[in-house]
Amino acid sequence: MKLDLHVHTTAYSACSVMSPDEMMLAAKENGLDGICITEHNRIWSADEAEALSEKHGLPVFRGMEITTTGGDILVFGLEEEPGELWTPALLKAKVDAVGGVAIAAHPFRGFLVFGFGDLQMDVKDALENPTFSQVHGLEVCNSLVTDAENTLARDVADAAGLLKFAGSDAHKAASVGTCVMDFHDLIENEEDLVQAVLASRFTIHRMK
């Protein structure tokens, strides 16, 4: 089951230029079997997601990209929205309490600005990031960062024994489905999604 698990729409993410309908059309055009909306610090209601799913005939799952003191973290299975800036440790405690999963989003995006060579960061240095001890995995395929950033994220995830995660981080229709996770099992709800992620029952694909 091929899913894009990191997508933003104009419904609740001011940085996006893609409406929910445009997202759904792009997902279908790119052969996805479903999509997960991860707005910034907001979660769609179950009713909203179900209505959009029924309108387009494609499964819609819900998550969030939460801004923390240690960077952006994707969460699945958590319904509580942050009313203030949380630490990664506080967020991890909340996620664990509901049996969810937390993934550090685009963990090395700074290289996009400063250049991989200029920062001179290697895997050993990267492992010192305290946020990485408060997540279940790292996003290692994100369409909005450089190949070097994605490669470093993958290497760090391997070294730290963390899950390797993929998501397009789409803010426009052209980016939907660029980084996807192909699950071995049928995903019917967020609980299925969380369990499949934690069990690493998926493969990652960079589609374009």
CATH number at residue 23: 3.20.20.140
Q: Which residue has the tokens 């960061």?
A: 121
> pLDDT tier at 126 (50, 70, 90 boundaries)?
confident
- Predicted pLDDT at 191: 97
Q: Which of 73-87, 95-109, 118-132, 165-179 has the lowest mean pLDDT?
A: 118-132
Position with higher pLDDT, 205 vs 126: 205
Q: What is the arithmetic mean of pLDDT over 1-5?
A: 98
Q: Which residues contact 128 (CB under 8 A, 6 or more apart)?
A: none
- Predicted pLDDT at 113: 45
Q: Which of 120-124, 140-144, 198-202 has the lowest mean pLDDT?
A: 120-124
CB 6 within 8 A of CB 74: yes
The domain of 177 spans: 2-206
- Predicted pLDDT at 161: 96
- What is the distance of C-alpha 120 from the center of its chain? 26
> pLDDT tier at 116 (50, 70, 90 boundaries)?
very low
Residue percentage of the chain with pLDDT more than 90: 88
Helix residue ranges per DSSP H, 161-189: none
Q: Give CA–CA dist 85/117, Å, rounded.
A: 32
Q: What is the arithmetic mean of pLDDT over 37-63?
A: 98
pLDDT at 165 over 70: yes
- Predicted pLDDT at 22: 98
> pLDDT tier at 94 (50, 70, 90 boundaries)?
very high
Q: Which residues contact 165 (CB under 8 A, 6 or more apart)?
A: 5, 74, 103, 137, 138, 139, 140, 141, 181, 197, 204
- Predicted pLDDT at 119: 52
> pLDDT tier at 112 (50, 70, 90 boundaries)?
very low
- The amino acid present at 116, given as its one-letter code, is F
Rounded (10°) angle between helices 20-29 and 46-56: 50
Q: Which residue has the tokens 């369409």?
A: 143
- Predicted pLDDT at 114: 45
Q: Where are the beta strands (DSSP E) in the chain?
A: 2-7, 34-40, 60-68, 71-76, 101-104, 137-141, 163-166, 179-183, 202-206
- Predicted pLDDT at 208: 73
Domains contained in the chain, number: 1
Pairing of strands 101-104, 179-183: unpaired
- Predicted pLDDT at 201: 97
- The amino acid present at 173, given as its one-letter code, is A
Secondary structure (3-state) at 119: helix
